[in-house]
Amino acid sequence: MKKMISLLVRNRPGVLSHVAGLVTRRGYNVESIAAGPTENPARTRITLVVSGDEREMEQVTRQLRKLIDCIEVRDLKYSEAVTGEVALVTVAVEPEKRLEIMSLANTFGARIADLDENSLTLQVVGSSHMVDMVITGLAPYHIKAMARTGLVALPIDSRENRESLL
Amino acid sequence: MTDTSNTGGKRTGAQILVAALERAGVETVFGYPGGPVITLYDAIYDASFKHILTRHEQGAAHAADGYARATGRVGVVMATSGPGATNLVTGLATANMDSVPLVAITGQVPTTAIGNDAFQEADIYGISLPITKHNYLVKDAEQLSQVLAEAFYLAGSGRRGPILVDVPKDIQTALLTPAPAEPVIIPGYEPEPPLQDDQLAELAEALKFSRRPLAYLGGGVTASGAEEELFRFLTENDIPATATLMAKGVFPDDHPLALGLPGMHGTKYANLAIYESDLILCLGARFDDRVAGNVRRFAPNARVAHVDIDAAEIGKRVDTHLPVVGDLKAVLARVLKTVTPVARPDWLRRIDELKQKYPLPLPPQDGPEIKPQSVVLAISEATRGEAIIVTDVGQHQMWAAQLIVSTRPRRFLSSGGLGTMGYGLPAAMGAQIGRPDLPVVLICGDGGFQMNIQELATIREHDLPVKIAIINNGCLGMVRQWQQFFYKERYSSSIWKHEPDFVKIAEGYGIPSRRVTEPAEVSRAVRALLDSPGPQLVDFKVDMFENVMPMIPAGGGQTDFYEC
Ligand SMILES: Cc1ncc(C[n+]2csc(CCOP(=O)(O)OP(=O)(O)O)c2C)c(N)n1
Ligand SMILES: [Mg+2]
C-alpha cells in the first residue's frame, strides 16, 4: 500500500537529514519526498509518499512523529488535501511531429518549456495521476530525460491556520 | 567566577557552554581534550563540576552511561573533533539502544572550515544521526545556551536517550553577551503523553477476565521509577513477572512471583509461562528478538497489552491488542485505582510447578576447575542486592543475569540492546562515581576486559573502589559456545593462543590483584575482593567449556529449547 504523509517541521539545519535518515534506516520505501518553505520562515513542509505493508505504514508515521524537529505529522487522504506535482519531460521529436505533441500538451494544460530542432521539453503541473497520464501519452515518442518534483500536499483544513502550531 | 573584566562583560561561547552545564545541575563530566576543544577545556578549568579525564573517549561515553544508569540523572561526555568524536560512536549507540539519558558535547573544526576536509574534521552530526535521540550542530554562538537547555531536557524526558551537541571551535571562542535563558518549548514534542481513559479501561477489563496474566518487564519500569506501583500491582493481582536485562531488580528476584530472565538464555519456567499465558502485559519492554525470537511462537494463546511511553514501540514487532501509551508510573497508579484485586491460585500453582520441574541447571561443583557460575553465585550471596553489579557482554553476562539476585532497580547495569563488549569496566567506573555510597562490582569476561582495559588508570587515579571479577575462561566464551552447538566445534578465532597476565597488568596500573584457580577458594576470594579497600581485581580462571543453559537458538519460539 501507498501512503501520503505531510510533515510540518522546524526549519533547522539538518532536519531533512533527520527525516531522510529515519526512513532509510527503518527500511521504508520512499516514492517521493518534497520539501519547501511555508508561510512561516521558521517552518518547512515536507510531503512524503511511502509504500510498504500495513505494519510498516503504521510504523512510519509513529516513527516520524518521534523526530524532535517534527511539529506535526499527518497521514493524508487525497480527499483531505490539495496536491500537486511538477514534471519536466524532454522528448526527441522531429519538427514535423511537433504539432502532435503540442496537442497532447494542450489537452493536459502542459506548457512548452524549451524547444530546439530535435527535441521539446514539456512542463506539466497537476496531480500525480495527471503527470503519469502525460508521461504515458509521451511514451510512444522517445523520452530523453525527465525530472519530477514528487508530490506536494497541503491539508485542506490548514486554511483555518491553527494558531496552536505557531 | 570567571574573570570578565577586560571583555566588557562579554563571555566566550565556551564559558557560556560551561555555565549552561552548571545551570543543568551537572556534577560530573567525563571526557578527553584536544585542539578543537582546548578553549572549552580552558573554561572547564573554572567550572563548578568535576571533569574526569578517562584514557579513551569510548571509556568516557560508557562511564557517563554507567553514571546515568546508576543515578537516573543525565550523564555528560565530552570529546574533541574528528577522532575524539568518532571514538564516542559505540558509547552513543549503546546508550541509544538502552534509552540512557546522555548529553555528548563534541568539538568541531571552525564553521568556516566545515566541509573542507579540515584537519581532524569528521561529520559527527551525520555519523550520530541514527544513534542519538536528537543531535545539533551549533552554527550560531547566540544559540548555545538554548541548545544545551534543550539537550538536557530532551535527554532526560520522554523516552530517554543520548543527545549530541557539536560545537565548532569559532563558536567556543566567540565573544558575546550572554542572553538570559528562555524556557524550553519544543512544539510537537510530547514527553508525557496524556493517558487515554478508554485504553486504561480496556486494559483493566482484560485483566479482570485473564486467568493466566504475565508481566514482561523492560527498561521503561526502571526509567519511570515505577517499582512501588509495580510491586503492588503484581502482588495484589497474582501476576508473575519476567524481567529483561534492562528491568532486572525493579521487581525483587527473590519474590515467588519473579520468573527471572525471559528469552534466549532465560529460565525455562519464564519462557513456558509466557507460552502458556493468556494475557501478556508488556510494561516498557520492546519484544527484542533475544526475548521473542519468533513472534508467532512467543505467546500464541495470549492477548498482548503493551504499555509504553513511546507510541512507536507499540505494534513494532508483535500485534498488540491493548495498546496503552503513557508513563508507566502514571499508568500503574491509575490501574491500581480501578482494578479490584483478583486471586489466581491455579495460575500460581502452575507457575510453582514449572519452577519445580524446570529449575535453572547448575553444574556440579566437585571438578578440578572452577565453574564460572560458582563465582557469580558467590558474588550474589556476598552482596545480597546491596551492591551495583555491572557486567560486560558474553557468557558471564548471561550467568550474572540468571544468578545474581537483584532486589532494587539501578543495581544491575549491562549493555542490553547493543551488547557492547568493553562496556563493563568504564560503566562500573561511572556508576561508582555516581554512587560513591554503594559497592560496585564488575563481572567481566577476559575478552571484553581487554576492550577498555586502559580505564584501570582512571580508576586508580581517582581511587574508585570498584571490585573487578574477571571470569577468565580463556576464550570468547559466547562465540565458542555457538561454534560448539551450531558449527561442529570449529572454534574459529574464539580461543586465544596467548593470554596476558591480568594480575601483572593490574599491578602495573597499581591495583591490588590476585589469581584464583581452586574451586574451594572461590567464596573466600569473593569475600576478600569485596572487603578489601579501594579498587581490587581477582582473575578467576574457570572452565573453558562451560555453556550458558537453557538456550533457545536465534529465531526460536518460547518452547524451542536447545538440547545438547
Ligand atoms: C564490541 C563487540 N565485539 C564483538 C562482540 C561479539 N561477542 C559477543 S560475546 C563475545 C565473547 C565475549 O568474550 P568474553 O569477554 O571473554 O566473555 P565470555 O563470553 O567468555 O564470558 C563476542 C566476541 C560484541 N558483543 N561486542
Ligand atoms: Mg571469556
Please check whether residues A87 and A145 belong to one and the same domain: yes
Q: Is the dihedral of CA B477, B478, B482, B485 positive or negative?
A: positive
* The predicted structure's pLDDT at residue B329: 98
Task: Please say if B120 is a catalytic residue.
Answer: yes
| Closest Cβ opposite residue B315 in set A58, A69, A165 | A58
Cα Rg of chain B (Å, integer): 24
Contacts of A21 in chain B (CB under 8 A): 129-130
Residue A165: inside a domain:
no
**Other Cβ atoms closer than 10 A to B485:** 14
Percent of chain B with pLDDT over 70: 99
Taking CA atoms only, the protein residue closest to ligand 1 atom 5 is B421
Q: Is the pLDDT confidence value at A163 over 60?
A: no
CATH number of residue A88's parent domain: 3.30.70.1150
Taking CA atoms only, the protein residue closest to ligand 1 atom 17 is B445
Please check whether residues A69 and A103 belong to one and the same domain: no
Q: What is the ipTM of this complex?
A: 0.88
Nearest alpha-carbon partner for B59 in B467, B492, B428, B498: B428
Q: Where are the domains of chain B?
A: 5-176, 197-357, 372-541
Please check whether residues A110 and A140 belong to one and the same domain: yes
Please check whether residues A33 and A64 belong to one and the same domain: yes
- Please check whether residue B227 is in contact with residue B256, taking contact to mean a CB–CB distance below 8 angstroms: no
Ligand 1: which of B443, B449, B476 to mutate, judged by most atoms within 8 Å of the beta carbon?
A: B476
Q: Do B139 and A13 touch (CB under 8 A)?
A: yes
| Closest Cβ opposite residue A63 in set B133, B188, B312 | B312
Interface list for chain A against chain B, based on CB atoms closer than 8 Å: 10, 13-14, 17-18, 21, 25, 55, 58-59, 62-63, 65-72, 165
Q: Is the pLDDT confidence value at B3 over 70?
A: no
Please check whether residues A113 and A69 belong to one and the same domain: no
CA neighbours within 13 Å on the CB side: how many for B245? Answer: 28
| Segment B399-413 mean pLDDT | 98
What DSSP designation does B233 have? H
Contacts of A66 in chain B (CB under 8 A): 310, 312
Superfamily name with CATH number, domain B197-357: TPP-binding domain (3.40.50.1220)
The tally of domains found in chain A comes to 2
- Please check whether residue B442 is in contact with residue B414, taking contact to mean a CB–CB distance below 8 angstroms: no
* pTM of the shown model: 0.95
Percent of chain B with pLDDT over 90: 96
What DSSP designation does B534 have? S
- Please check whether residue B442 is in contact with residue B468, taking contact to mean a CB–CB distance below 8 angstroms: yes
Separation CA A130–CA B213 (nearest Å): 54
Specify the pairing of strand A2-10 against strand A43-51: antiparallel
Separation CA B10–CA B18 (nearest Å): 14
Nearest alpha-carbon partner for A52 in A68, A29, A32, A71: A29
* Arithmetic mean of pLDDT over chain B: 96
Residue A160: inside a domain:
no
Percent of chain A with pLDDT over 90: 75
Separation CA B344–CA B237 (nearest Å): 8
Give per-residue pLDDT as tens, B316-359.
999 999 999 999 999 999 999 999 999 999 999 999 999 999 99
For A162, counting Cβ atoms within 10 Å of its Cβ (0-12 exposed, 13-18 middle, 19+ buried), the class is exposed
The DSSP result for B6-62, as a single string, is GGTT-EEHHHHHHHHHHHTT--EEEE---GGGHHHHHHHTT-SSEEEE-SSHHHHHH
Cα Rg of chain A (Å, integer): 19
Q: Is the pLDDT confidence value at A166 over 60?
A: no
**Other Cβ atoms closer than 10 A to B214:** 27
Domain ends where: A76, A94, A112?
A76
Residue A138: inside a domain:
yes
* Residue environment code for A62-94, b if the CB has 16+ CB neighbours within 10 A, otherwise e: bbbbbbbbbbbbbebeeeebebbbebbbbbebe
Nearest alpha-carbon partner for B27 in B424, B433, B423: B433
Give per-residue pLDDT as tens, B93-145.
999 999 999 999 999 999 999 999 999 999 999 999 999 999 999 999 999 99
Q: What are phi and psi of B545, to 5 degrees?
A: -100, 15
Residue B542 backbone class (left: φ over 0; alpha: ψ -120 to 50; beta: rest): beta
What DSSP designation does B340 have? P
* Residue environment code for B371-405, b if the CB has 16+ CB neighbours within 10 A, otherwise e: bbbbbbbbbbebbebebbbbbbbbbbbbbbbbbbb
Please check whether residues A13 and A68 belong to one and the same domain: yes
Its CATH architecture, for the domain B5-176, is 3-Layer(aba) Sandwich (3.40)
| Closest Cβ opposite residue A68 in set B130, B154, B315 | B154
Tell me, using a 6 A CB cutoff, whether residue B395 lines ligand 1. Answer: yes
Please check whether residues A125 and A106 belong to one and the same domain: yes
Task: Please say if B57 is a catalytic residue.
Answer: yes
Q: Which atom of ligand 1 is nearest the CA belonging to B476?
A: 13
Superfamily name with CATH number, domain B372-541: Thiamin diphosphate (ThDP)-binding fold, Pyr/PP domains (3.40.50.970)
Q: Which residues sit opposite B537 in a β-bridge?
A: B468, B513
Nearest alpha-carbon partner for B17 in B228, B182, B167, B225: B167
Give the confidence band of A164 by pLDDT, cuts at 50, 70, 90: very low
Please check whether residues A56 and A104 belong to one and the same domain: no
For B26, counting Cβ atoms within 10 Å of its Cβ (0-12 exposed, 13-18 middle, 19+ buried), the class is buried
Give per-residue pLDDT as tens, A68-103.
999 999 999 988 999 999 999 999 999 899 999 999
Separation CA B527–CA A128 (nearest Å): 73
Element spanning B349, H or E? helix B345-357
Please check whether residues A132 and A98 belong to one and the same domain: yes
* The predicted structure's pLDDT at residue A53: 86
For A163, counting Cβ atoms within 10 Å of its Cβ (0-12 exposed, 13-18 middle, 19+ buried), the class is exposed
Give per-residue pLDDT as tens, B260-285.
999 999 999 999 999 999 999 999 99
Q: Do B189 and A68 touch (CB under 8 A)?
A: yes
Ligand 1: which of B403, B478, B482 to mutate, judged by most atoms within 8 Å of the beta carbon?
A: B478
What residues make up the domain containing A60? 2-76
* The predicted structure's pLDDT at residue A160: 60
* The predicted structure's pLDDT at residue A58: 86
Nearest alpha-carbon partner for A165 in A5, A33, A9: A9
Task: Please say if B499 is a catalytic residue.
Answer: no
Rounded to the nearest 10 degrees, the angle between the axes of helix B477-486 and helix B395-403 is 100
- Please check whether residue B102 is in contact with residue B29, taking contact to mean a CB–CB distance below 8 angstroms: no
Q: Is the pLDDT confidence value at B178 over 90?
A: no
Q: Is the pLDDT confidence value at B1 over 50?
A: no
Give per-residue pLDDT as tens, B457-512.
999 999 999 999 999 999 999 999 999 999 999 999 999 999 999 999 999 999 99
